[in-house]
Structure 1
Amino acid sequence: MTSRRGFIAGLLATGLAPAPSWADLGGPAFLAAAKDPGGHYLLAGLSETGALRFTCPLPGRGHAAAAHPFRPEAVAFARRPGRFADVIDCRDGTHLARLEPPQGHHFYGHGLFSRDGSRLFTTENDYENTRGVIGIWEVTQGYRRIGSFGSGGIGPHDMLLRHSQGGDQLAIANGGIETHPDSGRAKLNLPQMRPNLSLLSLEGQVLDVMELNQELHLNSIRHLALSSTGILGFAMQWQGDPGAELPLLGLYQPGAAPQLLAQGDPRLRNMRGYGGSVAFAADDQSIAVSSPRGGLVQVLDTHSGEIIREHMLQDVCGLATANTGLIASTGLGQILALTKGKAKPLQHHDLAWDNHLIRLT
């Protein structure tokens, strides 16, 4: 009788062994960076209800991550202005590669895979030339860098893959803020800021650029969400008076004017000028934006643009679409479901969750 070990070896030899997949880890629904009580940084996989599926060590503070569409493999990005992007086999934490941006560049904390998993795209700062860049990495060649193109603006941060009739597009939040590692996190061009939301082809062709009115040029477009119908939600961070009553959330359908939500609502002050993460609810009827500075999540109606509820949650930032509505994470270790007007605790981990919950698709 053939042994189990011999049977598996035979499958491997014939190429018939099943390829590793996210199902091998229990089908995690989200990725998130965190810090443990000992001050060590890690990347975690979470279930739909916030249970831990895996953890993998990181060399420093992480910001966001990109999940390979098929393999249990993720790229964890350093917090700006970090230079590391680690490729991790999430089954056992094996370090597969470390991506190094070119000289004069640093990563901006976000990236994504092409739909077939063959390429990785990264948001970068070409700080010597004051321009935003999208790096291209060939996954099938060990994450070899094969090129780059302009992001359509300065300070590209978040980026999403958006499907259109003409093919996949990169939706890029160009925050408009010039920075340089020699100046730390200082903002060097506030009077001249011009944030935008750019749509590019996967080859770098600029397809569409959305800019806000000049009086809102200090509203840095930072994070993005995508509805099931292709509408983009964008969260902003105001670089002026943090007590200003200004919208920090908008909707954009390419070809139409942007819709800024909750204009004139005095509760906008509660956000303290800072939109941390953004996500559509599962039914697209509402969209949420978090503010760790304000300690709350605002949920807004996507049709009327009005604030329909606020959830007061200390140090909240991570937001993502969940099967039943929305899910949030906090720096105090909480994972919560935001549904039916309530913030329902799901899990509590002895971890300080960082800025984002990344949905695996």
Structure 2
Amino acid sequence: MGLPNNGRRQFLGGLLAAGIVPQMTWADAGSPAFLSAAVKPDGNFVLCGIGEDLSIRFELPLPARGHAAAAHPTRPEAVAFARRPGTFAVVIDCMTGAQKAVLTSPEGRHFYGHGAFSSDGRLLFTTENDYEAGRGCIGVWDAQKSYVRIDEWDSGGIGPHDIKRIPGTDTLVVANGGIDTHPDTGRTKLNIATMEPNLAYIEAGQVIGTASFSAEWHKCSIRHLDVSQNGTVAFGMQWQGDGPVDMLVGTHRYGEKIDAFAASPQDMRNMQGYIGSIASSADGRFVAVTSPRGGMVQIYDVLSAMLVRTLALEDVCGISVCGDWFVATAGTGALRSISKGQQNTLQAAEFAWDNHLVRI
């Protein structure tokens, strides 16, 4: 049996006093399975570590509202991103709560709220808007040297939002939403008539391929991603057109065509044209998506590309894989585990969970 958190900290403190510097791991931070930003009733913003049993393992202060986070692959360290269009991100030691570094976007850039680490944890990649040029870019930061910015790459499109690493590789996949914005006009979308969303694959700074829809679907903004262990990319979209939309979810494998998932017109209407988050099951067989606008969770079978389950949950947005299926979070404070046979809801009413539930 492991030491409780306070005993572990005392033990580690003794090692440090003796001049022994141990390698910290996520187990030293309470073995959280997920990270999520939240708002407390007093208006303070926090980053929480959540266990697979949905217990809160830690609660650390944030300077402003968070959107998503990136978990370091080995050490208990997280990069919490401000809600877009934010210009800062905070690196937090999840053992102590100490702020280790602050990432500030260069002049003429802002973050989109997401980031991903390289497989060895040496580099952090951030999605950014070069808003004067109207192009997307990927910031490259050295996580070994206090997160100094060392490079900048083209994202392969406009409006890069989510970014993930293909497991077992250092290939990145980017959701270029296609929407041009500028801080002078807030979140106003400037190019809906001409937007061209895509998935872009990047290796060592070079865009090695993109995937997109035909022109008739160019208003389906690809926003959020998850990647299964076999490299299949699942993506969720946000519809920018008028009238109903026929698809909001799909999958893609590098070098192949995009597969769009089917659902009834009513199921599409229930999502109100908006996917807030997405997750793939551990075996890659199922994909779950959320709509905070519609208050719905939908689960698709990847093999049939069909909707197989729906679940109503008010203000739901965060979704992640948990065990053999999923867990969801909501702005109401709810945490709900979703299994194939039953549902268990735990309430954490003191928190209003923000957009994303990030698997560590």
What range describes the TM-score normalised by the shorter chain of this pair? over 0.9
Q: Distance in 2 between matches of 1:347 and 1:314?
A: 13
C-alpha distance in 2, partners of 1:318/1:213?
29
Identical pairs, percent: 51
Give the deviation of 1:284 after TM superposition: 2.1
Q: Are 2:201 and 1:171 aligned?
A: no
Partner of 1:85: 89
Written as runs of structure 1 = structure 2, the 5 A alignment for 1:1-361 is 12=16, 16-163=20-167, 167-201=169-203, 203-241=204-242, 244-262=244-262, 265-340=265-340, 342-360=342-360
Q: Which runs of 5+ in 2 are unaligned?
A: 1-10
Distance (whole Å) between structure 2 residues aligned to residue 25 and residue 104 of structure 1: 36
Return the alpha-carbon distance in structure 1 between the equivalents of residues 278 and 290 of structure 2: 7
8 Å contact from structure 1 (residues 251, 260) kept in 2? yes
Question: CA, structure 1 residues 285+10, in 2 after alignment: closer, same or farther (shift >3 Å)?
Answer: closer
1:269/1:19 Cα in 2 relative to 1: closer, same or farther (>3 Å)?
same
Deviation at 1:227, TM superposition (A): 1.3
- 1:3 aligned partner: none
Preserved contact between residue 136 and residue 146 of structure 1 (Cα < 8 Å):
yes
Q: Look up the equivalent residue of 1:199 and give its one-letter code.
A: Y
1:335 and 1:9 map into 2 onto residues whose CA distance is: 34
Cα shift at 1:216: 0.6
TM-superposed deviation, 1:346:
3.5
Shift of 1:306: 1.1
Report which stretch shifted further, 345-354 or 145-154. 345-354
Q: Confirm or deny: 8 A CA contact 2:167 2:230 kept in the other structure.
A: no
Query: Are the counterparts in 2 of residues 309 and 341 from structure 1 also a CA contact under 8 Å?
Result: no
Runs of 4+ that moved beyond 6 A: 7-10
Go from structure 1 to structure 2 and tell me whether the alpha carbon gap of 1:10 and 1:74 turns closer, same or farther (over 3 Å shift): closer
Pairs aligned (count): 352
Give, in whole Å, the separation in 1 of the partners of 2:228 and 2:24: 30
TM-score by length of 2: 0.93
Greater alpha carbon shift after TM alignment, 38-47 vs 17-26: 17-26
Select between 335-344 and 81-90 the one with higher mean Cα deviation.
335-344
- Give, in whole Å, the separation in 2 of the partners of 1:263 and 1:34: 32
Cα distance in 1, alignment partners of residues 270 and 278 from structure 2 = 16
Q: Report how far residue 25 of structure 1 moved.
A: 1.6
- The SS at the match of 1:340 is coil
Q: CA deviation at 1:277?
A: 0.5
- Cα distance in 2 between the residues matched to 1:323 and 1:179: 38
Q: Kindly provide the CA deviation profile for residues 251-308 of structure 1, in whole angstroms up to 9, marking residues without a partner as x.
A: 1011211110015553111100001111112232211110000100111111111111
Q: Give structure 1 stretches of 5+ with no counterpart.
A: 1-6
- SS of residue paired to 1:110: strand
In structure 2, distance between residues paired with 1:176 and 1:98: 28
Cα RMSD (Å): 2.0
Q: Which stretch of the first structure deviates more once superposed, 125-134 or 277-286?
A: 277-286
Where 2:170 maps in the other structure, the secondary structure is strand
1:124-168: CA deviation from partner (whole Å, max 9, x where unpaired): 00101111010011111111110101000000000000146xx42
Contact 1:283–1:325 (CA<8 Å) still a contact in 2? no
Q: Secondary structure at the match of 1:215?
A: helix
Distance 1:11 1:291 in 2: 47
